[in-house]
Amino acid sequence: MSALRIGTRKSPLALWQAERVKGLLAARGQAAELVRITTTGDRILDRPLAEVGGKGLFVKELEEALRDGRADLAVHSAKDVPFELPEEFGLCAFPEREDPRDALVAPRARTWERLAKGSRVGTSSLRRAAQLLSVRPDLVIVPVRGNVQTRLSKAVQGPLDAVVLALAGLRRLGLEEHVTEVLPVEVSLPAAGQGALAIEARRGSRGFSAAAPLDDAETSICVRAERALLAKLSGGCTLPLAAYAARDGAGLHLRAALGGPDGSGGVKLVRAEGRGAQPEELGAQVAAKLLAAGAGPLLEAARAQAGGLPAPKR
């Protein structure tokens, strides 16, 4: 049987993720090789993602490789995958999830509570920025782009006081030693799909069939609930939207948060949560609760302005 071709971005983290899937396939007797692709999202580093099309930029070119036959599978960070895919593609597996929480790298302050007033905190995520500013409006949020190592260096070597990154990515790259605090979900609720991998393929293809057994049932049901909430709100990385589901007895506990401008130069955060057994129904239920709590105007305001948040303080 010929080797499957796995489409992947060229960043160190993306290559780690693709190698992980390659190893999982090898354990099942299926050979695979990597096809390295540079995406638009990798090339445009001087502007926030929200201004240039969102994290779908990381997915688009990999889907082109699936479409034209250069790749049989594409491996993504699940949090980068838009809630709506082209009809010919499907997400065939979500392998076992890493810890989805956010991590603080603050070499001097060490902890979230000890960050001095006016500290410069770097993040590429509107979701993180909205949540951090809702608790600490005194902070200066600085947009940072680039691979994990580049963003990490902004705090380790300066000029920033701290950066917030996904714990999963730091662990996968062997950089967890730089983490000074794992942020509780009450401070920074993760993005939908954070810590999980998503394997995409053409429906009905050999790649789809080969990768489907790599699906982890526990990860899949949680990520599906999170993505159902995104779909209901038409949310993407251009919105400061968080969604995190975890097992709760026989069912799931789904928490969500949406940030946006409060009309006075600050940030307002709306939260909702729910419990249920059916992931798609639960996602829709919690989305409705967010809207009932006042998310509608925040959605409109966030979509109306680039980034959806007040400009960083100077």
CATH (domain of 93): 3.40.190.10
CATH (domain of 243): 3.30.160.40
Crossing angle between the packed helical segments 148-156 and 12-27, to the nearest 10 degrees: 130
Q: Is the pLDDT of residue 186 over 50?
A: yes
- Strand pairing partners for 257? 242, 271
280-300 per-position pLDDT tens digit? 999 999 999 999 999 998 888
Claim to verify: residue 17 and residue 166 sit in the same structural domain: no
Claim to verify: residue 108 and residue 73 sit in the same structural domain: no
Q: Does 176 reside within a domain?
A: yes
Q: Does 15 reside within a domain?
A: yes
Claim to verify: residue 267 and residue 208 sit in the same structural domain: no
Claim to verify: residue 11 and residue 87 sit in the same structural domain: yes
Q: Does 191 reside within a domain?
A: no
Q: Is 209 exposed, middle or buried (0-12, 13-18, 19+ CB in 10 A)?
A: exposed
**Total tally of structural domains belonging to the chain:** 3
Q: Does 311 reside within a domain?
A: no
Q: Does 287 reside within a domain?
A: yes
Collect all residues with Cβ–Cβ distance below 8 Å to 87 and sequence separation of at least 6.
none
CB 214 within 8 A of CB 270: no
Q: Predicted confidence band at 159 (pLDDT cuts at 50, 70, 90)?
A: very high
Claim to verify: residue 203 and residue 93 sit in the same structural domain: yes
The share of the chain scoring above pLDDT 70, in percent, equals 89
Q: Does 144 reside within a domain?
A: yes
Claim to verify: residue 169 and residue 48 sit in the same structural domain: no
Q: What integer pLDDT is reported at residue 58 of this predicted model?
A: 75
Q: Does 210 reside within a domain?
A: yes
Largest CA distance in the chain: 62
Out of 134-143, 159-168, 268-277, 292-301, pick the least confident. 292-301
Claim to verify: residue 80 and residue 38 sit in the same structural domain: yes
Q: Which residues of 145-154 are buried (b: 16+ CB within 10 A; e: fewer)?
A: bebbeebbbb
Catalytic residue among 42, 72, 80, 161: 80
Q: Does 220 reside within a domain?
A: no
Q: What angle do CA 161, 190, 127 make, to 5 degrees?
A: 65
Q: Predicted confidence band at 54 (pLDDT cuts at 50, 70, 90)?
A: low
Mean pLDDT of 154-163: 95
φ and ψ at residue 261, rounded to 5 degrees:
-65, 140
Sign of the four-CA dihedral 245, 239, 47, 109: negative
Claim to verify: residue 232 and residue 246 sit in the same structural domain: yes
Claim to verify: residue 140 and residue 10 sit in the same structural domain: no
Structural domain span for residue 154:
102-182
190-245 per-position pLDDT tens digit? 999 999 999 999 999 999 999 999 999 999 999 999 999 999 998 665 689 999 99
Active site residue 80: yes
Claim to verify: residue 204 and residue 231 sit in the same structural domain: no
